[in-house]
Amino acid sequence: MSDLPPDLPRLRTLETFLALLLGEVRDAIAAKERQEAEQRRGEAARPAPPDWLLEVGLNRDSPPVQVHVGDCWNKGKRRQGISRNEAWRALADGVRACTACKPDVELGFIDG
């Protein structure tokens, strides 16, 4: 214990400093625990992704671009969730099927 100061006033000062530092560490731990709990609550409350997606054009007058399975990695940024029937209808109306996720095969629209 030779690293500690030898006199009582400096030992008390060190004790006060360490108590303050311990309080800050405990506050940081509590804040991180609250943040992680909030993140878990948010993930649990997140709605399920849609089963089918319709990738839309650049403006509202553009025709749809392609149909995707809901978790397709190639789904594009402009998309909207659609039902199974809407996905089938879009394919029947000539909207292209994504070549990555093959929604036409998933829907039984064509044999895979």
Q: Report the predicted TM-score, pTM, of the whole model to 2 decimal places.
A: 0.59
CA 31 to chain CA centroid, Å, is: 21
Res 40: pLDDT: 95
Give the strands of the sheet with 66-69, arranged side by side. 79-82, 52-55, 66-69, 96-97
User: Over the stretch 12-66, which tens digit does the pLDDT of each residue have?
Assistant: 999 999 999 999 999 999 999 999 999 999 999 998 889 999 999 888 788 899 9
Contacts 24+ apart (CB under 8 A), 67-71: 67/91, 67/95, 67/96, 67/97, 67/98, 67/103, 67/104, 68/98, 68/100, 68/101, 68/103, 69/98, 69/101, 69/102, 69/103, 69/106, 71/101
Extract the tokens encoding 34: 């609250």
**Band of residue 99 on the pLDDT scale cut at 50, 70, 90:** very high
Q: What is the mean pLDDT of residues 80-94?
A: 93
How much is the pLDDT for 111?
A: 57
pLDDT (average), residues 64-84: 90
